[in-house]
Amino acid sequence: RKEVEQDPGPFNVPEGATVAFNCTYSNSASQSFFWYRQDCRKEPKLLMSVYSSGNEDGRFTAQLNRASQYISLLIRDSKLSDSATYLCVVNKGSGKSTFGDGTTLTVKP
Amino acid sequence: DAGVIQSPRHEVTEMGQEVTLRCKPISGHNSLFWYRQTMMRGLELLIYFNNNVPIDDSGMPEDRFSAKMPNASFSTLKIQPSEPRDSAVYFCASSTKDSYGYTFGSGTRLTVV
């Protein structure tokens, strides 16, 4: 079993739709959680950190459920520019992070 | 800040040749990571340094791979001899603290023919 698992998708949604991604992690001792965005042929970029209390950044909301060991990302009012691969990342506090394989999102006009 | 700087952006080399990838982390970041990304295996951590000291190199595929960080502003990843299966995008990333996430460089796209 992989340490971090994501539904690879692809998710194809129309502009304006709400879309949610989930990610599960296997190590209950994990301490830090993130969502990264990666555009085609580009480097991953930090989208947002994820906290137990949940956090929101504009149209993006991230949630962490430690009991069930999953992380979610909700995107409201999808834009064409949101099309990318979204990577779930977990850090055990050991100094290194484990990346999921990513979920591909395509937003269509 | 210029961000994490990697060079070269693209490298095409023949099997058996030595390849050296370079990285300059963000000033003040004390952790540096080398990742490899392929379609088949996704993003794999090869090695990471903390305060210029290699902490975990368990992801380095084999003895053909080596990495150094002689000072806080420079790191290299060397492959000798290179093989076609080493073809991938190699990313360098740096961070200040586990809970802050990483900043990635633009990557080096390596093709070994």
Q: What digits encode the pLDDT tens for the residues A44-66?
A: 999 999 988 889 999 999 999 99
Looking only at the bridges linking them, the beta strands covering A70-75 and A60-65 are antiparallel
- Mutation for testing the B interface, residue in A47, A52, A96 having most B CBs under 10 Å: A96
The DSSP-derived string for A48-66 is EE--TT-EEETTEEEEEET
CA–CA dist B47, B54 (Å, integer): 7
What pLDDT, on the 0 to 100 scale, is given for residue B1? 65
Q: What percent of chain B has pLDDT over 70?
A: 97
What pLDDT, on the 0 to 100 scale, is given for residue A93? 77
Averaged pLDDT score across all residues of chain A = 93
In a 13 Å sphere around the CA of A27, the CA atoms on its Cβ side amount to 16
CA–CA dist A26, A3 (Å, integer): 5
- Mutation for testing the B interface, residue in A27, A39, A43, A88 having most B CBs under 10 Å: A43
Q: Cα-Cα-Cα-Cα dihedral of A68, A70, A71, A75, to 10°?
A: -90
Residue A46, both tokens: 């930090």
Q: Does B107 touch chain A (CB under 8 A)?
A: yes
Q: Does B3 touch chain A (CB under 8 A)?
A: no
Q: Does A55 touch chain B (CB under 8 A)?
A: no
Q: What is the mean pLDDT of residues A10-32?
A: 94
CA–CA dist A86, A47 (Å, integer): 9
Nearest to B98 among A32, A46, A101 (CB): A32
Residues of A in contact with B42 (CB under 8 A): 99-102
What pLDDT, on the 0 to 100 scale, is given for residue A52? 82
3-class state of residue A81 by DSSP: helix
What pLDDT, on the 0 to 100 scale, is given for residue B99? 67
pLDDT in tens, B33-83: 999 999 888 899 999 999 999 999 999 988 999 999 999 999 999 999 999
**A37–chain B nearest CA distance, Å:** 11
Residues of A in contact with B98 (CB under 8 A): 31-32, 91, 93, 95, 97
What pLDDT, on the 0 to 100 scale, is given for residue B98? 63
| Beta-carbon separation of B48 and A42 below 8 A | no
Is it the case that residue A36 has pLDDT exceeding 70?
yes
CB within 8 Å of B59: residues ≥ 6 apart: B44, B45, B46, B47
Q: Which residue of A has its CA nearest to B40?
A: A101
What pLDDT, on the 0 to 100 scale, is given for residue A88? 95
CA–CA dist B62, A6 (Å, integer): 28
CA–CA dist B113, B111 (Å, integer): 6
- Mutation for testing the A interface, residue in B38, B43, B95 having most A CBs under 10 Å: B43
Exposure class string for B43-75: b at 16+ Cβ within 10 A, else e: bebbbbbbeeebebeebbeeeebebebeebeeb
What pLDDT, on the 0 to 100 scale, is given for residue A16? 97
CA angle A46, A91, B65 (to 5 degrees): 85
